[in-house]
Amino acid sequence: MTKKLIALDLDGTLLNREKQISPRTKRAVQRAVVEGHHVCIATGRPFRSSVQYYRELGLTTPMVNFNGALVHHADDTTWGTHHFPMERETAFRILQVCEQFQAENVIVEVKDDYYLKQHDDNLIRFMGDGHSPLGIGNIPDLLTDHPTSVLIYPQKETVHELREHLSQFHADVIEHRLWGAPWHVIEIVKAGVNKATGLQVIADSLGIEREHIIAFGDEDNDLEMIEYAGYGVAMGNANPMLKNVANHITDTNDNDGIAFVLEKLL
């Protein structure tokens, strides 16, 4: 069989509702690796909160973080780092929008470091994964680099209006996505950056043609990746838009949807 590149989203896809990889799914993924296929993680998460799953599966491939804004290898520095940050001035304009819409909090990430507008123990525990922020306070006074992403924690009643504003006035410089429950977070990266662009960097490095890519996802930040892959798979719990563009709809993340597909295809 032709060797495949298998791309796995984390939340709602590889991970069940307990944020764990089930034994059956782990066996299916690891069997694919043993048979010579390339398995990579493609997530909106930063490296610090995805590397544990990379280690658990025993992967040796590059990975996609921040929805394609950072593509790198966890262990091989010679592979290179492909970083696609937004301009610092763009981030400042987004921060002004956050003030306008009275967002509850903002995180600005620079690769595996981050800045926080307001101290929040829950956010630090959830987003930091053991890493403390580089700074807390007025982010324009703290930020010296071009940021990888901006995470907005809006007031729930303003989410739709805020996203419409971003689309109307900033679509030329940013992409924005909405996380699923329970974290109603708007994630922003540079325009033109998505999981598909990140996955293509990995595919090119491995010499894998597009038709030999299998990708799994569940949310709107997986849309371009599912469309790009030769065989795009939507989880049973995926949103309707993703299901409409997928080649196949499998079972849910809680019912080993990834394992069902890999066991059949490979």
Q: DSSP readout, 42-78?
A: B-SS-GGGTHHHHHHHT--SEEEEGGGTEEEESS-GG
Q: Which of 47-56, 89-98, 122-131 has the lowest mean pLDDT?
A: 122-131
pTM of the model: 0.94
Digit-coded pLDDT (tens) for 245-266: 999 999 999 999 999 999 999 8
Query: At CA 94, angle to CA 196 and CA 92, rounded to 5?
Result: 110
Q: What percent of the chain has pLDDT above 90?
A: 91
Look up 9 and say whether it is catalytic.
yes
The domain defined by 5-83+193-265 folds into Rossmann fold (3.40.50)
On average, the pLDDT of the chain sits at 95
| Confidence band, pLDDT 50/70/90 cuts, at residue 127 | confident
pLDDT at 183 over 90: no
Q: Cα(111)–Cα(65) distance, rounded to whole angstroms?
A: 9
pLDDT at 147 over 70: yes
The gap from C-alpha 20 to its chain's centroid, in whole angstroms, comes to 17
User: Once rounded to an integer, what is the mean pLDDT over residues 86-113?
Assistant: 96
User: Once rounded to an integer, what is the mean pLDDT over residues 230-243?
Assistant: 97
What's residue 181's pLDDT? 63
The domain defined by 88-190 folds into 3.30.1240
Single-letter amino acid, residue 182: P
> Which sequence spans correspond to the domains of the chain?
5-83+193-265, 88-190
User: Once rounded to an integer, what is the mean pLDDT over residues 20-46?
Assistant: 97
pLDDT at 180 over 80: no
Residue of 9, 11, 218, 222 with catalytic role: 9
What tokens does 122 get?
């829950």
Placement of tokens 């429950």 in the chain: 181
Q: Cα(188)–Cα(177) distance, rounded to whole angstroms?
A: 7
